Amino acid sequence: MQNDANNNEKSKGGLQLLFFESESGLPVISVLLDATCMLLTWSNSDSRTIDDNCACEPG
């Protein structure tokens, strides 16, 4: 079973908001169901943390 919850479907779901929402479309993720895949391929290294948000030199 494999279903692609792409941008259009996501918009139909109407769940997500963004703080900065572009008027020309949103960058989104693809979410798939895949019975053969036992590991998430999503990389946590893509996440952002506030620890390093504007972590400019303190002086």
Query: Interface residues with another protein (CB under 8 A)?
Result: 1, 3, 5, 7, 9-10, 12-35, 37-59
CA distance 30 to 21: 18
Cβ atoms of residues 35 and 1 within 8 Å: yes
CB of 36: closest distance to another protein in angstroms?
Answer: 8
Q: How far is the CB of 8 from another protein (least distance, A)?
A: 9
CA-to-CA distance for 54 and 58, rounded, in angstroms? Answer: 11
Closest distance of CB 2 from another protein, Å? 9
